Amino acid sequence: MAGGRWGPLLTALLVARVAAAAEGGPEQAALPEERSWVRPMTASNWTLVMEGEWMLKFYAPWCPSCQQTDSEWETFAKNGEILQISVGKVDVTQEPGLSGRFFVTTLPAFFHAKDGIFRRYRGPGVYEDLQNYILEKKWQSVEPLTGWKSPASLTMSGMAGLFSVSSKIWHLHKYFTVTLGIPAWCSYVFFVMATLIFGLFLGLVLVVISECFYLPFPKHLSEHTEQTRKSEETHKAEQPQDAEEEKDDSNEEENKDSLVDDEEEKEDLADEDEVEEDEEEDGSVALADEERNDAQDQGPLREAQEEGEAEPEEDLPEPPGAAHTEVAEDTLRQRKSQHAAKGPQ
């Protein structure tokens, strides 16, 4: 009976105590978080944007401008099914390779992708503007990122790898300086030495690869090439000698031609001298004939003078023949002197 009376009372006290504990607890039950419609993109799943239509946002948790557009971007993602578009986001602090692939230099950065063709969206990150950009197809007036600028190109793939390596080096430097407490200059020295060692190792690998794939020439081919090389060297050595011999031959020919020309000039001068001598001889013969004629003409005059002694003597003019004879003799002497002067030349 006692147990039957106290049973319901104990049950009521237990329920009241549990309720009081629940109401006076330090924390209430947490509400479930709201589901996000924005899909995080990483280096492993970014190729999904190559199919269909996408809008991507590059952000960083510490960026105030990125935080201001979070609510607008979430609203835009909720209406993605109506707009028939997928919405994604990339944290550049976690995915430096993707930021390098898209060559992101400012935050936040927005990109539109349609069947693997990418365009940069430079408008505000407001829901209305984003919605009009898709509905009115304003992206068609934007120049696409083609060629080496395309995120899918080989060049931008290399850029993604470079950004990833630089991020890992920065994290390693932070680990050395912050976690281990190593001075910054020691960390720099470590990276310099690592770079030199890696370069030497890479050069050694390239040398080994070239030696493995190098195919030596057969012996007869190598001998043939050696003979060919020697013949070419001898031919090159003979070329200057041939040029000098040709030059000497040309000089000799020029000298011979000059000698022949001098002899011809001398012969011409000799012929001219002979012609002048013939002319002088003819002139002297003519002068002698004139003198003879003058003498015959002067004979009767002399006889008349001898007979007429009583007549007064008159000054007779000098016969013209004598003056002409003297002029001819002077001319003959001048020509002989000129000929004598030309002879030694």
* Active site positions, annotated: 63, 66
- Contacts with 294 (C-beta within 8 Å, 6 or more apart), sequence order: 319, 321, 322
Residue 50: burial class (beta carbons within 10 Å; 0-12, 13-18, 19+): middle
CA distance 108 to 141: 22
Sheet holding 109-114, edge to edge: 39-40, 86-91, 53-59, 109-114, 117-121
Question: Which tokens hold the place of 266?
Answer: 């001398």
Of 133, 145, 56, whose CA–CA distance to 99 is shortest? 56
Q: With beta carbons less than 8 A apart as the criterion, state whether 287 and 320 touch.
A: no
DSSP state for residue 138 in the 8-state scheme:
G
